[in-house]
Structure formats: structure tokens, C-alpha cells
Structure 1
């Protein structure tokens, strides 16, 4: 552990941000360089992280920091992009699978400790399962309840996970269980109860960690500072070479690029596409490009936004969630997809550095249905579909004349204009361009789109509460690639206040196909892919999202960052060996 003197020195981290730190190259290191290891300075934009809780962290900004502070149950070999036994940064050293493929027995490393010296044991994983099963927690991992039956501690270093079925993505699902400091949480639960965990002050300043970096300081809306932890067991050099890691909150993506080019930050992930040529041309910046795994979409609320309800009751029965006045009709959703020119959007918003989505699976995935074309841009077809749905142009205003909501829910809605709110997070220039294009193109059809950019955390609150009309956001596919969407579109994930099925998508045929794909005998990719092809057809028909495009992946680091050697979707895999030189 860095000693107290070094902790005190870390108070000067912002001075280091401005000046960087003279250091030695990682390949020359034979002993801990201390402060000379330099400070890695990366950036997020918007308002920055609002939690550092492993449980409640659900966005990119906090995940970037939380992912550096904690180990996982299983780990990935970045060279093959697959979960493997004995991976660095993983608690599990190996595992066995029962003959029926239902029970995974994980054998845990017995030499790992929390930063306070307490051994890391199977109890630290079992706690997360207990919290997932406790409704008062509102755990984002509640989707695991549909795939995991039980988690049992056999002894301190043996954990048994029983799945509901022979799950082809069992290791990924088990890897979703957090490794939590149970000795710390025991006191928290006693003090504040389960429902108080989300508001713990500790979430903003965790003092017990397990990863290559430990928490030092967070200034909301400005910076988060971590310190390298030399007791990290998986550091190949025997120590964590960089002295610290700082995440700066930037005003927007354009500012991020300027900060990189002048040296105010030294690592940048996914810079805006309109500035990538500037980065490529910079003589003192190194870049790494790869086929993208991030994708943008327009999310449409299919349910009544004035009375959000979960999809299922406590017994698993379907609850009537009502209809959204506009998006509750599938014909309207299809029409809007035909009314938006996504090809032009790719040229405008990402300067051609992207690929169209046909449904919910990225073109780079082994499960992508290449025979399914995307919905074409066809304004006349859009108008025909709207007319079929009972929406017609009157005095240049798209007006309800026999629309579904007026005939099925509220007859007073007859004659109402098609008008809705479209939200996205402020500071994201790509999504702002998308929103403007959607507003303009639908406006030409007499559809009033109130496009607004708001604070990212505020947007997440609105989405979680399911009180929105529509929003523009994106997903980054899991690593390694996993086409499973139980977490995104499963009925169990449709719970106001938690879960990620914000749009209230529900299709029993889709759910059945997904279960078949997850439990396919032998888990042969070709067999599973055929099922995912059918699922994409359903998603393109149902359109809970208007599918837009993927964006090509791009990492950049200044030349003073030594050891920068990413794999696709794995920027930080060897961060313990990085150093920063001036």
C-alpha cells in the first residue's frame, strides 16, 4: 500500500494534472517508481459519477473508476476475449461444471485481501446474491433472478452457483455477481437497513477496495482521483507502476479532444468522430482503432408514462401497464423508423465512422443476422403506416383520427396532435446531432418533437422512473460479446426504479426464443445464432427502440503514456504497467 506520505502527496494531484509527472518507461522498471510512475489522466463529460458503489454503478463514468478499484469473480483473457480460468483480476482460480450443466463450483484464490487486510472469501460474493434477492435494495442486478437459482458458500474459498437451466452464458452471468466487502456491509446493513444502502456516504468515498487502484478523492463535477495500490496481487511487475489515475469531468466531447491535444489529459476513450482526424494527425498522440461495440438508439416508452407499473407481479403474472398515447401502437413505431434517414445520420453524426443497426445485435457479433436488411428511409411508407394507425395530416399537423389510444383508452384524445418529448444527455455532440435530425425530419411530417438535452444523471432518473416519452442513448456491448438481452428486454428487468427494460417491451415469443438460445444443447454458436436471427426479426417488427448505428471504437493516448497497448474493448487490461513521462 502506498504509505501515508504518498497519500499526502496525492493532494497535489491537480498540479500533476497540469504539469504531468516526469517518469521512467515501464519497460525499464525493476522497482516501484513511486511518484515517478506518473498520473494517468482520463476524462468523462457531463456531470461525472454520482456513485462509486459496485452495486448501484450503472453508467460509463462510474464504471471506469469502479472497474479500476475492484476485482471480479471471473476474468477475461484480452487476447482471445473469452472468460478463462485463472485470469488476472479474478477471484476465481478455476471451476467445475456438473454433468447437467446446472451447477458451477468456483474455487477461489486464497491469497487475496481487501485493502484493509481482510481476506476476500466466498461470503463476499454471496452477499451480492443476498442483496439481489432483497427487494428493498432495488438492485440493478435483479435480472439475475431469472437465470440463477441459488448461490451457496461451501467454505471460505469455494462457491457454488446453481442456474435455473443449462445456461450457455453461465460464466458471464456468474461474473455479474459483485465481490463486495461483506465485513463492511454487515455494519452498514445493521445501521441503515437494506433500503438505506443506496444513500450511503460510503458510496461516494469507498475506503475498502480490491483492485489495482484505491479511492483517494472525488470533487463532484470536477475530478475523481485514485491511487495505485502496490498490494494488488495481480500486478505483473510486483507493484502498480502508475502513481495515480484521475478522471476529469469535461464540459463536452469537443473539450475532451482539446484537452488531449494540449496535454491536460493523456488518455481518451471514444472521442467524437468529427475530431478523430485531428487526433490521427497529432504528432504526439498514439491511436488504436477497432470495430465498434457501442451503439445508439431512440428508446420509445410503450407503456403509460403517467402510471409506471412493473411488467410482472410477485407471482410472475403480467400486469396491465397501459399504453403510451403515441408509441403504444407498433405501426407508429414502425412508421417513425421509416421517417428517419439513418444513413444521413451516420454521415452527419459520426462522419461515416459507423454501421447501421437492423435490430438489437451489433454487426460485429457472431449472432448478427446479415440477411435482415434495416428499415429503409421511406417517407411515403411512413405516412401510409401512420394513416393505417389512425394518424393523418391536417393543416400540416399529424393528428389522431381513430388512433389506437383514442379508440382503446381515452376517446377525448381524438383530434390530438402527435407531439412528444425527446431527451438525451447534454454534452454528447453525437447524440445532440441525432436529436436535431430526428426533430427536423419528423417535423416535416407535422410531428412536434420537443428535443431537450439534460444532465446525464437526471436523464437516468427519468428513464428509471419510466415517466418519459422517448430518449436517445446508447449501449456498449458486454465484454466478451454476449447477445443475451434478458437484462435489457426481459420482463423481470421492467421494474420502475430499477432494471433496464425502460421501454416496457414484452413479447412472449421473443422471451421463449431467448431461453432456447441460452439453453441450446452443447451451446454450439451456429445453432444459437439461428435463434438470435429470429429474435432480431421480432425486434425489427416490434421496435421498442428505433435502431440507429454502431460507432467504430477508438482509443487515444499521448506518447508520454508508456505501456499503452489496448485490445478491442479492453483499454485497461495492462494499466498496472503503464507509466507517464513528460
Structure 2
């Protein structure tokens, strides 16, 4: 019962998640003013280090201060409503070019963002709730045993070249993904599939070896490619990869590698026709060029770093959009540890952390507090979930109940002559995690827990995590669209050297519920929401993680552009067809 997103993306999950066009950045942490922690060197460095945020010029010191229990509100974007014009061009800036425009092969952020404008999937994601909605499939049904998923396709869709779309294209796309010779990064998503079949022109059926409701998101998100063009091609070497033909709201105008990609309005689009005539993605050299392009009007939309937020806001000429990035941070506790195996200790350590202060000091307030691995707007979020606030007095009480008191007056709690000392590790190449670790160290010391922070090289850090050789870690995972978290919490996944349940969490009821969530009859949302709500309630009590926050992505938009409404579930460009210009 795989939680495939973790298996596929293990390398990128450990980074501050970049989104949309390979250049989006989460808010950048400020400097840490604290005694130097222990640094344990080793050889390999973290892959993709170039995507790490640059050090902030914010001079705020990081240290525990007065309690701040109020949740971080998500500021409403500044929206202007001037007269809307039909036509026009929007130019968006970014730092990385696409690698391919074939969605079967796309695996980098820019390629994925552009192909999602050129191609459609069977299903779409509701930008407000993450629920699945019709796309190329007008409806779908799931058999009583959960082993067959049938999609009924639209009959009014044309490819950009005017050829009709059919179930044969869908079957071809998924079989290409499963073909090892193609090398699609999506292949592992469909390990449970026994058959993909075009039943007729408008019916596509998927047969599974085992019921798995989470696969619906995987099936729905695949962008479909045309069989009549790629059917006889070597997909890896096909000219199609640079000159694609899709069904999406935009068609390719030109791709000048290393410089820009221009998309044109699709006059044959089956859905809502775009207002814009063209959308151009412009590759620039660095963040300074992004800012200069925005200031001069050469760029209409750019990703914004925290360092530049204040100056862009002060200019008063740009819209600022904030929305949670696809990543949440947490402190993970090794449940097999002789001290951390006590749930009272884990609860105490969780409530000793002022999470709002972390967001304020590290992210300049640009983040959202979380109590589970879902955003509050998600359809499966448990609305009655109890949030445990920052409460150092309660933390001290729980530690005392667990037998940890300061018997010798040295400021560190002890029990049976043993001081309460723990290690807190993270990868030193990640500024956000490093800043969290040093602040958390100080919060723990304030309640009598001595913590040694270890900033570990990437290779050693992974080894420590997957061999369970740690006390506590600062880490991050993606905010998945489907609520299944089998790999994180099922006891069968607490396997040395491979399992993602590296905190060694075991709970028979959670194991049972995870299976029920995957096998819910017809994958009915209300039933699944109740199941995952119960899981979240158990985790909130057991505290294998201290959930912290999701940083915001920051977007600056020229005031002449309207309709921009980024979604934490559907990203920035989900409604590009609704974007417009006023001059």
C-alpha cells in the first residue's frame, strides 16, 4: 500500500520545495544568533543545493520570547478590479528553462508547469479544497470491490492539430508511462495497475491488483499525449518533446531554449477560452534580473523572496500573492528511543515550542501553522482536531509527571541520576531547518531539556534517518493532495534502510485505519475524511511529530494583470485562462 509520492520524490522532498517554473522560493530564514552547534562533517552534499534560499538580510535575532499562540492568518492577496481587456500578453520571469515539453517525460518544475498549460489530465483539482473534479473525463466510477476505475471521457475535445481526442490516446499515454524503455518518472505511480484499456472512444478502464483510493489523484493528474503523433515514435528522442501538440488552453508558439517559451491562446479549447492572446515565460539570470524586470515592466509576474518583499510592497505598484508552499516542517521524535518512547515527553517537547514565533523569526511571519500533514482547507482536514498551543508550564508539568525534575538545581532535569539530554539533527545545508533546530534547542532548554544540535552533511543525515540512528530530527515532507499517509505511519513501513516511517511509530488502530482509507467503498470522500480525521486525532495525542508550519510562496504581479489567484492545491497557473490585462 505505497504512499508513492514519498518513494518517487525522496531527493526533492528534503529541499525547500520549489514550485512553478523552477524558480519559486519559500520565505527565506533570517540569521541565527546562537552558540555554534556541533557540526558533523561528511562527504556528500544535498542534491539540488542551488534551489536553497539565500541568507536573509533580516537582522532579527532568533531566540524564545513571550508566548505567541495566535495562528498565522493567510493574508488576502491584494486584488485590483480595473476594466478587463480581451487579448494581450503577460510575461512571467523565472530562473530555469524547461527540459522537455512532453508531460510523459517531464520531471523538473518548469517543464511540469508549462506542460500543464499545453495538456489536460483526466481530472482536475479543486483549487479551494483539493477534491477531484472532472477534466478530460466528465465522470468516473469505482467498482464495489475497488479494483476497477472507469472514466467516461468528453466527446468534444480536439487536439491542437484538429484531430479528435479519444480513449485510445489515454490508453497509449498510460502504457507509455509503464514502458521501461520510455523512462517516465511517473512509472512507479502505477505499480498496482494490472490493465489500462480503452473500452470504446469515450470509455477508459483501469484494473488494479488491489484497491487503492489514493491512485485516483495519480491517474487524474497525468497529462494525456496524442497517439496519432507519438504512436510510432521513440518517445525519448521524438521531435514532439520540443514541439508538442496537446488539448490544453494554450498551444506552443515558440520555445527559444535558454531564453523564453511563448504560448498562444487555443481557439479550439473545449473549456473556458483564455482572455490572453499570449503568455511568455522569460528565463533570466538571477534574482536581481527578476526584480529589475518587474520594476521596468518587462516582467509582469515573478516569484519573490522574503528579502525583497518589503521593498516591493513599499513601491505600491504591485500585487503580492501569498499561499502555502507544498511543504511542511516538523520535529520528528524517535519513538523507539528510551526517553522519547514516553508520550508525555513527546507531548511536553511539542508544547515547549512557540511555533508562531518560529514563523515570525524565521519566515518574517510568512507561513501557516499546521497541526497535521494537511492544510485546513483540504477536504479531508479534521475540523475538530485539537491544537496544542505553546505552553511551557504544561510542558514542565508533563516532564515532571514522566519523572524528569531538576534535582540538583543545574537547570537540567534528571531522573535516577541521568540528565535529560537529547540530540536534534538536521542537514546543515538547509537554512530553514538549521534555524528551526537552533531555536527549538533554546525552547527546550527553557523547560530543562539539554539538546545538542547536530548539523549533518546530507549523506550522513539520510543514513542516520533511515537507520533510525537519531533522537530527534528537523525535517519536512510535501503536503500531499491525497490524504493517504501509509508510508509515514503504518508499522510495516518502519523498516531500517528503506521505510519512511523512520520515527518507528506503531499503533494497531492507525494501521487498521490506513487500510480502511485506501479501501473505502467507492472512495467516498466523506467516509475517507472521517477515517483520516480519526488518524489525525490519534497522532495529535501520540505526537510522533511536532507539526510546525508551511512557508508561503510569494508572488509579485504587475497591477495591470488581473485574475491571478494562486492555490496551495493547484499552484499558480491553474486558472491562467482567467488572467487578463487592463492595459
Same fold (TM over 0.5): yes
Offset, 1:206: 4.6
Match of 1:112 in 2: 158
Match of 1:475 in 2: 478
**Aligned equivalents of 2:188, 2:168: Cα separation in 1:** 20
8 Å CA contact retained: 2:106, 2:185: no
Tell me, yes or no, if structure 1 residue 151 matches structure 2 residue 196. yes
Match of 2:123 in 1: 74
8 Å CA contact retained: 2:368, 2:550: yes
Match of 2:575 in 1: 574
**Aligned equivalents of 1:376, 1:80: Cα separation in 2:** 28
Once the two structures are superposed, the pairs formed by residues 455-534 of structure 1 within 5 Å of their partners are 470-473=473-476, 475-478=478-481, 482-486=482-486, 507-520=507-520, 527-534=527-534
Query: Size of the alignment, in residue pairs?
Result: 489
Once the two structures are superposed, the pairs formed by residues 94-493 of structure 1 within 5 Å of their partners are 94-96=139-141, 98=143, 103-109=148-154, 111-113=157-159, 121-125=167-171, 127-128=173-174, 131=177, 142=188, 145=191, 150-155=195-200, 157-162=202-207, 171-180=216-225, 184=230, 187-188=233-234, 206-208=242-244, 210=246, 211=248, 212=250, 214=252, 216-217=255-256, 219=258, 225-228=261-264, 230=266, 233-234=269-270, 236-237=272-273, 241-246=277-282, 248=284, 250=286, 260=294, 263=297, 265-268=299-302, 271=304, 279-288=312-321, 292=324, 294=326, 296-298=328-330, 300=332, 336-352=349-365, 354-366=367-379, 367-374=381-388, 376-378=390-392, 380=396, 418-419=422-423, 421-423=425-427, 433-438=435-440, 440-441=442-443, 445-451=449-455, 470-473=473-476, 475-478=478-481, 482-486=482-486
Give the secondary-structure state (helix, strand or coil) at the position aligned to 1:113.
coil
Give the secondary-structure state (helix, strand or coil) at the position aligned to 1:75.
strand
Offset, 1:48: 8.0
**CA shift digits 1:144-178 (9 cap, x unpaired):** 546x6643232454310245677766753531445
Q: Relative contact order (C-alpha < 8 Å, sep 6+): which is higher?
A: 2
Match of 1:64 in 2: 113
**Aligned equivalents of 2:293, 2:347: Cα separation in 1:** 41
Q: 1:140 to 1:76 in 2, by over 3 A?
A: closer
Tell me, yes or no, if structure 1 residue 558 matches structure 2 residue 558. yes
Judging by fraction of residues, say which structure has more helix.
1
8 Å CA contact retained: 1:242, 1:576: no
8 Å CA contact retained: 2:261, 2:281: yes
Give the secondary-structure state (helix, strand or coil) at the position aligned to 1:447.
strand
Give the secondary-structure state (helix, strand or coil) at the position aligned to 1:347.
helix
Match of 1:10 in 2: none
8 Å CA contact retained: 2:151, 2:205: yes
Once the two structures are superposed, the pairs formed by residues 15-34 of structure 1 within 5 Å of their partners are 27-29=84-86
**Aligned equivalents of 1:232, 1:491: Cα separation in 2:** 51
Give the secondary-structure state (helix, strand or coil) at the position aligned to 2:549.
strand
**Aligned equivalents of 1:235, 1:489: Cα separation in 2:** 40
Offset, 1:513: 0.9
**CA shift digits 1:401-438 (9 cap, x unpaired):** 999xxxxxxxxxxx998545412775x7x656435423
